[in-house]
Chains A and B, each alone.
Chain A
């Protein structure tokens, strides 16, 4: 059901909402004057305006207290969230830089292995299965980069969305200029989120677990690594009879 937005319609309503404390003071003064008129001159008509002015003044005071409580809560939220909003853009940038750096390093390594393989073949004058096998092992170990990049991309997405949502929440509250600047910085970061790594790729929970354990095992030293057996279900041929 759509929410109906209520707007102050009259000058009095606007004045009460804009300056409730001032209006309350004015009405309290008017009420006091009406009571004084009634007391001094026994003016009966003064009682009604005095009562109305007193009720409205009381409502204005209540509004003043509510507004000040909301402002205090907003300030508390700002105090709690500002450090995180301040750190998030830098953190996201660092994660992107890290992913980009790792990718560059792995590509350089691949270039190097291409060269090593070619030189070894040249030197031996024939294929060197032993050397090629070793190179393949190292190249396979470099697959950690793809897994790490996917997870970093996911973390960057989550952090960016979190910052964006927090910013949207805080936007509805009265913000100080510093917090506003941080929010705008994060918005700018979000607009430039397509960076060195690919954030478009969703990582399935099951797949993440499976690749994560293998990936971290691969990061360990080769000497300590136990002989691996292929986990069941990692490879499947649907149509072995299909061929060109």
Chain B
């Protein structure tokens, strides 16, 4: 059974690109355009990993990460921040909020697949297997 990734980004094109990259690695994708929509998606279905931007309207990524970590069933769900922000202060805030990893945009698709697999303790070449993840 394939794993599900929740992609939260206010940019439609970025959601498509991240989704495309993870779909190639065998993931099923659910999307949210901001933190609030991401939380709604979490309510609706179970996800194995969350990939989120930081700067979004309605609810930003770090607030969403904190809200996710407050939920008992998602205390240990890997959350990867994918953002243009590369400053140490922002990374520290992300880590404090409960993020599991940080990637600065523009992302390298292969690197994204590898990081996601590492966070889920999957073999690094899982995406190259015939059945994917």
Closest to B78 in A: A242
CA distance A223 to B122 in the complex (A): 34
Q: Does residue A52 face the partner (Cβ distance < 8 Å to B)?
A: no
CB-based contact B20/A210 at 8 Å: no
CB-based contact B13/A146 at 8 Å: yes
Interface size bucket, B side? 35 or more
Beyond A110-B17, A140-B108, is A198–B76 a contact (Cβ under 8 Å)?
no
CA distance A26 to B24 in the complex (A): 89
CA distance A150 to B55 in the complex (A): 11
Identify which of A110, A211, A235 contacts B111 (C-beta below 8 A).
A235
- Chain A residues near B70: list those with CB within 8 A: none
CA distance A237 to B118 in the complex (A): 9
Q: Does residue A202 face the partner (Cβ distance < 8 Å to B)?
A: yes
CA distance A234 to B103 in the complex (A): 6
Question: Which residues 76-133 of B sit at the A interface, judged by CB distance below 8 A?
Answer: 76-78, 83-87, 90-91, 94-95, 99-111, 115, 118-121, 128, 130
Q: Does residue A40 face the partner (Cβ distance < 8 Å to B)?
A: no
Could you count the A-B residue pairs with CB atoms below 8 Å apart for me: how many are there? 139
CB-based contact A114/B20 at 8 Å: yes
Q: Does residue B31 face the partner (Cβ distance < 8 Å to A)?
A: no
B30 to chain A, nearest CB (A): 15
CB-based contact B105/A211 at 8 Å: yes
CA distance A68 to B48 in the complex (A): 73
Q: Does residue B12 face the partner (Cβ distance < 8 Å to A)?
A: yes
Identify which of B12, B100, B108, B128 contacts A237 (C-beta below 8 A).
B100
Q: Does residue A17 face the partner (Cβ distance < 8 Å to B)?
A: no
Beyond A103-B12, A146-B13, is A211–B106 a contact (Cβ under 8 Å)?
yes
CB-based contact A238/B13 at 8 Å: no
Q: Does residue B37 face the partner (Cβ distance < 8 Å to A)?
A: no
- Chain A residues near B102: list those with CB within 8 A: 235-238
CB-based contact B48/A244 at 8 Å: yes
- Chain B residues near A67: list those with CB within 8 A: none
CB-based contact B85/A207 at 8 Å: yes
A156 to chain B, nearest CB (A): 16
List 14 interface pairs A-B (beta carbons < 8 Å), by A numbering. A107-B12, A110-B20, A140-B107, A198-B10, A198-B57, A203-B84, A204-B85, A233-B104, A237-B115, A238-B100, A238-B102, A239-B100, A242-B76, A243-B121
6 more A-B residue pairs beyond the given contacts A140-B106, A146-B13, A238-B101, with a C-beta to C-beta distance below 8 A: A133-B110, A143-B17, A149-B11, A204-B84, A207-B84, A239-B78
